[in-house]
Amino acid sequence: MELVVLLLTFASFWKASTSLRCYQCDPEDPYKTSNLCENFDYSDKFLVECHSSTMCFKKQTYLRVDNGMNSTGIQRGCASQTLNGEQRKINGKWQYVSTIYDAYNATCFEDPSDSERVTKTIYCYCEGDKCNGAIRLTLNSFLVLILIIISLNFTS
């Protein structure tokens, strides 16, 4: 039984050394440099490596127009967790650094500034490869592992 728990633990952290992979697409792209979310199909062509982020995001914007029509825009990508131009003195010299800050919680929330607007924007942040492809946030592998261990302890 201990071997099974050890193997499950090892397997859940197997990819811990690689960077996070998130889906990336934009609602519009006038310069034709990225994939459009209207063509999103969960394929690998939408995946990017997130070297400066530990989370993915999904932004959904809903526009209500007076004539009863609605428009929806979706954007996916790596969550912005670094500051541009941040410098530190290292070995007596100022150097640019990329510090990753934990700026978000893994959750969805509505933009509070939208209360007086005709748009509604929902931001979702999640942890784990490909987590921003789902309609709702999914459980990460660490949480699933903890639940398995707890259930094994109660059954034995």
- The three-class DSSP label of residue 36 is strand
Structural domain boundaries in the chain? 20-134
Report the residue count for the chain.
156
User: What's domain 20-134's architecture?
Assistant: Ribbon (2.10)
Residues 74 and 27 sit within 8 Å (Cβ to Cβ): yes
- In three-state secondary structure terms, 10 is helix
Give dist(CA 112, CA 119) in Å, integer. Answer: 11
pLDDT in tens, the chain (156 residues): 565 544 445 555 544 446 899 999 988 877 776 788 888 999 999 999 998 899 999 999 998 777 778 888 999 999 998 887 788 888 998 888 878 888 899 999 998 887 777 788 999 999 999 999 865 444 455 555 666 777 677 665
